[in-house]
Homo-oligomer: A and B are copies of this chain.
């Protein structure tokens, strides 16, 4: 698992950590009961405060994505990927709703938006999307 913090990203640091771990669980990269790096470990690796990591872990715990046991560490919860996927899908629907309705005001139709998405699909097929735009990164932590 690789967590990276980007200065460009307007999200606060704790949120970036939260999102990346959530995604890693959602994608199956991290599986149930797998141990996460300790908060101190990860804080050190990312050169940020323990508190910031703590907050990310806390929110993950509140969402039921991980669980923490004092003295033992933090672990991936036994939440099914299905559930995470369904939640993500709801999130996607919500955002698309906002996007289409705001675009409509500018005379941009839903069909036009679909065309844009189709365009993205093709770009992805060419397959350089992952490395095309190297993010500016603070640091990373490898944890396996």
Q: Which residues of A contact B (CB under 8 A)?
A: 7, 12, 23, 26-27, 33, 62, 67, 69-71, 75, 78, 81, 84-85, 88-89, 92-93, 95-97, 99-103, 105-108, 110-114, 116-121, 124, 129-130, 136
CA–CA, A67 and B136, complex, Å: 14
Q: How far is the CB of A47 from chain B (nearest CB, A)?
A: 12
Q: Is the interface of A mostly helix, strand, loop or mixed?
A: helix
Q: How far is the CB of A61 from chain B (nearest CB, A)?
A: 11
Known interface pairs A7-B67, A78-B136; A110-B103 also in contact (CB < 8 Å): no
CA–CA, A23 and B97, complex, Å: 16
Determine if B120 and A110 form an interchain contact, defined as CB atoms under 8 angstroms apart: yes
